[in-house]
Amino acid sequence: MQASARFRDYPLRAGMYESFYLRAVSPDEPLGVWIRHTVHKAPGRRALGSVWCTVFDPRRGDPLARRESGRELRSAPQGWISVGGDSVMGPSGASGRCVDTIWELSYEAAGPDLAHLSPSWLYRAPLPRTKLTSPAPLALFDGTLAIAGRKPIELRSWRGMVGHNWGSEHAARWIWLHAVDLVDQPGAWIDLALGRVVVAGRMTPWLASGALHAAGRTIGLGGLASRGVRVHEDAHGCSVGLTGRGGLSVAVRADIPEHGAVGWRYQDPAGGEHDVLNCSVAEMEIELSGAGARRVVLRTAHGGAYELGTLAGEAGQPASAFPAG
């Protein structure tokens, strides 16, 4: 997996954030794990790290969410990032602790990485202010996650993904969709990010970037030239319509089960906050049509992820699991 930490490249005067994260979901039941190592750097201040861990198991009630903030960032010779010296994430695994939760996970990419932004010069340009890649849009996970007072969770060939994003400012509004364990397509996945930003005081239309992999083919989605992205989103799910490369029409629907979502509050480096909803055990349906191909529908009962980010205070979001950070 190709990735490298960016926070050390920013001068002291600059503000920035950075995240290395993973999600993994059981192939047999609606049980998912989401772990995030983050950097928060306000302008003129040194960068500090946080570790976030959430376990989704709607059968037991609301997600179990943990976070530790304000921890030292350290070098990780064999990894990408080390938070507090005891939580490390790198190209082959993640190990760490957060409050009463500990984990030791290994993962292996099941295909090439995904650069969401195209053309590549966008990664060097001032805009967009958020850059993102997926070192492994499809990965296989093994290991253990233990929560005090509960039976340890054993991951055995769970599917999921490994992601990386960084920048100076979050989008004003965003959606992230990811899915694995699609029926009859074990190697298929979708990894799609959508965002709206404020330019000259006005909110832009939705911009999309990502890819879909199915039937042995990877098809780019969205991009600067993409037009007519259709989105309906709320705290219960979303529907998205867009066009893939070659004229393929793609429609995605994500639904959150009861007790399936957690709320967080993110903070921008220069101030301002966002409310974020995340479900990593979502039901998802992906419909493909056009481009001379027959209609195909891909489904997963709980292998989807749906994240919705909004400006803080917008109606419809659940209460945050913990304060801004």
Q: Please write the tens of the pLDDT for every residue from 223-255.
A: 876 778 999 999 999 999 998 777 889 999 999
Instruction: Judge contact between 25 and 31, C-beta under 8 A.
Output: yes
Instruction: Judge contact between 185 and 215, C-beta under 8 A.
Output: yes
Indicate whether 316 belongs to any domain. no
Q: What is the value of pTM for the model shown?
A: 0.95
Indicate whether 263 belongs to any domain. yes
Indicate whether 140 belongs to any domain. yes
Average pLDDT over residues 31-39: 97
CA distance 76 to 201: 41
Tell me what pLDDT residue 309 has: 94
Tell me what pLDDT residue 322 has: 63
Indicate whether 247 belongs to any domain. yes
Across all residues in the chain, what is the average pLDDT? 91
Q: Which residue has the higher pLDDT, 87 or 320?
A: 87
Domain that holds residue 262: 9-311
Q: Tens digit of pLDDT for each residue in 129-169?
A: 899 999 999 999 999 999 998 999 999 999 999 999 999 98
Indicate whether 322 belongs to any domain. no
Indicate whether 130 belongs to any domain. yes
Indicate whether 18 belongs to any domain. yes
Confidence of residue 316 (pLDDT cuts 50, 70, 90): low
Tell me what pLDDT residue 315 has: 53
Counting the structural domains of the chain, the total is 1
Q: Tens digit of pLDDT for each residue in 76-118?
A: 777 899 999 889 999 999 999 999 999 999 999 999 999 999 8
Indicate whether 320 belongs to any domain. no
CA distance 22 to 50: 15
In order of 24, 126, 158, 190, 220, the CA distances from 178 in angstroms are 11, 26, 15, 5, 14
Low-confidence winner among 184-193, 287-296, 299-308 (lowest mean pLDDT): 287-296
Tell me what pLDDT residue 19 has: 96
CA distance 18 to 85: 17
